[in-house]
Amino acid sequence: METSSAAGTVKSVDVPQSMQCPLTAALNAIGGKWSMICLYWLDSGTRRFNELHRLMPDISHKVLTATLRNLEHEGLVCRTEVPDVPLRVEYKISPHGESVRPLIEAVRIWGRAHLARSKS
């Protein structure tokens, strides 16, 4: 991979092979235990932290915070601070995050079939 600096010179940067794999990149972005669940709930509208936590009672505050930060870092979630007293923070799915919608639906369909198979 080549990058350019402010001086206009081009230098070669070694990117680890694992970071060049599309599947690895996808799993790094949405492969966390709670990532797709957060995206699922945010896909239906803007939500505050505690609202998300109520929807996913098994997740700790620490893990929810880390998950939301990772999704924001990956460009899948937008975080907005609303200047109220007290400060209000809202999360919504980004336009890039909306591209994950078909994956979430496919995983839900597979999950239903898996649950049905497990019951029989």
Flag whether 91 is in a domain.
yes
Flag whether 11 is in a domain.
no
Phi, psi at residue 16, to the nearest 5°?
-55, 140
**For residues 7-27, average pLDDT:** 68
**For residues 74-97, average pLDDT:** 93
Flag whether 8 is in a domain.
no
Flag whether 69 is in a domain.
yes
Flag whether 2 is in a domain.
no
Cα–Cα distance between 78 and 84 in angstroms, integer?
18
Domain residue limits at 87: 21-119
Percentage of the chain exceeding pLDDT 90: 66
CATH code of the domain containing 94 = 1.10.10.10
- Give the total number of structural domains in the chain: 1
* Res. 5: pLDDT tops 90: no
* Res. 94: pLDDT tops 80: yes
Alpha helices in 5-100 (DSSP H): 22-30, 35-42, 49-55, 61-73, 95-98
Flag whether 48 is in a domain.
yes
- Residue 85: its pLDDT value, please? 86
